[in-house]
Amino acid sequence: MIRLPAGERMRVTCTVNGAAKSGHAEGRTLLSDFLRHELHLYGTHVGCEHGVCGACTVILDGRLARSCSTLAVQADGAEITTIEGLAKDQGLDVLREAFSRHGALQCGFCTPGVLASTAHYLESNPDPNEEDIREMLSGHLCRCTGYEGMVRAILEFAAIKRNEAPE
């Protein structure tokens, strides 16, 4: 655990979406603020700031992490994937289209976190059923849509990834 005197900043260096990045953080700086304000990656959204809503979810060293309840200094040396990296590498344009087709988003505030969890989940669960997806989505609060459209979109996307025709 790194302890910094109040107000002191350290350089945090990490790999973000495949590229080496660095910026400064105080001991109390949240990873979400570091990503947004130091690295200018505004795709990571901040809602509750209490680890509840899931809007700030990123992939940190291969695991899902709430960036609002992770300190930036804890990410020193880590590999991070944000929604910007997922959009580039994981065919998420197809998932975004499915979200659009199924009315799975309105304001889009929760969407980066939902997409991060979905991409991470499907890596190890390529053939989920509806119940599996609902359980995965239970870590995300959406104030707009309800979850029906998200479930349909994710089922469709998973089928496309498996090269099956969507139902």
Please report how close the Cβ of residue 29 comes to ligand FES at its closest, in angstroms.
14
Please report how close the Cβ of residue 108 comes to ligand FES at its closest, in angstroms.
5
Angle at 66 between CA 150 and CA 81, to 5 degrees: 80
Rg (CA), the chain: 16
Nearest CB to ligand FES, comparing residues 14 and 53: 53
Distance, CA of 76 to CA of 141 (rounded, Å): 29
Distance, CA of 12 to CA of 16 (rounded, Å): 12
Nearest CB to ligand FES, comparing residues 86 and 167: 86
Nearest CB to ligand FES, comparing residues 93 and 164: 93
Please report how close the Cβ of residue 63 comes to ligand FES at its closest, in angstroms.
15
> How far is CA 93 from each of CA 63, 89, 97, 109, 130, rounded to the nearest angstrom?
22, 10, 6, 17, 22
Q: Given the rule CB under 6 A, which residues bind ligand FES?
A: 46-49, 51-56, 66, 68, 105-111, 142-145
Which of 88, 77, 72 is closest to 32 using CA atoms? 72
Nearest CB to ligand FES, comparing residues 143 and 162: 143
Tokens of 45: 């959204």
Helix (H, G, I), strand (E, B) or coil at 23: strand
Which of 137, 126, 62 is closest to 99 using CA atoms? 137
Tokens of 64: 């899902």
Please report how close the Cβ of residue 114 comes to ligand FES at its closest, in angstroms.
7
Please report how close the Cβ of residue 55 comes to ligand FES at its closest, in angstroms.
5
Nearest CB to ligand FES, comparing residues 99 and 155: 99
